[in-house]
Structure 1
Amino acid sequence: MSRPLDAIDRKILKELLADGRLSMSELAGRVGLSTSPCWQRVRRLEEDGTIQSYAAILDQSRLGLTETVIIEVTLERHDDEVLERFGAAMAALPEVLEAYLTTGEYDYFIKVAVSGTAGYEEFLRKKLYKIPGVRHSRSCFALKCLKRSLSVVPEG
């Protein structure tokens, strides 16, 4: 069982969320610790799963994926096989940025990056609609990203 996060843990997480490439000495200075105790805390946060991973955030438009599309999907059935097959298919598609099993009118909420309307149409025809069990989808193009965060910013 992991211990509750204290104010210093939260400061560490906030700083790493803002810049995951900070050196340990830079991070320690920003949170008011010496390097060794800071390193021990970061290590503990990694080991207990609070810090799951570190990543580079890419500019999808520089990769030719100029549009973000939000797709809501309804499946024909909701048995374990259909749900697992659809979930595995979403995880395997490189265009899929996020996929959530949801409550409500639609079964899944999917965020994809595509190269314009032609790329979107190709994604639908050649990928999404080829997955067995898809009954219906509804989509909307994102006009502008107002906020993007990979995690909640810890208070404190």
Structure 2
Amino acid sequence: MNDVYSLKILEALQEDSRMTVQQISERVGLSTTPCWKRIKEMEVKGVITGYTVQVDRKKVGLNLMVMAEINLAQHTDKTVAEFEAAVQATPHIVRCYSTTGQSDYVLMIMATDIEQYEQFLMRTLFKLPAVAHVRSSIVLREVKQGTGLPL
């Protein structure tokens, strides 16, 4: 994506994905038809993977954010696939990263409070396939929360 107009369109959509094609075209200096075509092309090519809304987690009762580092007991194709499928199916796990370093995975987990997280640990996280070790870090404060990519 080296095209200047496409990058400007992406920047505009990252800022506000509810903008109309007319608003985007005015912002980037391109007429509406080519602007719409570029957006559709980026959707087809998978550059734009979806549109979403940002929710204030605390206003919906998710007052606790935890970063959990996970180590697996074994790393066979089967256990990795089972672990990742279980993570995908667990709503309280909102992000999962396969990592290098001391942990195999880093999870971002949302809960209402520490008691709910403790129950989540016992009933869910410790029971995920091949989990050998969990290190939890409670997020005290979110310093930066961005969703846009630096284009």
TM tier, smaller: over 0.9
Q: Contact 1:17–1:153 (CA<8 Å) still a contact in 2? A: no
Matched, 1:83 2:80: yes
The Cα of 1:133 is off from its aligned counterpart by 1.2
Q: Contact 2:93–2:107 (CA<8 Å) still a contact in 1? A: yes
Cα distance change of structure 1 residues 100 and 5 upon mapping to structure 2, 3 Å threshold = same
What do you get for the CA RMSD once the two structures are aligned? 1.0
Quick one: which amino acid aligns to residue 127 of structure 1? T
Quick one: which amino acid aligns to residue 22 of structure 2? S
Structure 1: give runs of 5+ residues left out of the alignment.
none
Q: 2:5 aligns with which of 3, 8, 20?
A: 8
Which residue is 2:23 aligned to?
A: 26
The Cα of 1:130 is off from its aligned counterpart by 1.4
Which residue is 2:42 aligned to?
A: 45
4+ residue stretches of structure 1 with deviation over 4 A?
Answer: none
- TM-score where L is the length of structure 1: 0.93
Q: How many residues are paired up?
A: 151
- TM-score where L is the length of structure 2: 0.96
Matched, 1:137 2:134: yes
Matched, 1:109 2:106: yes
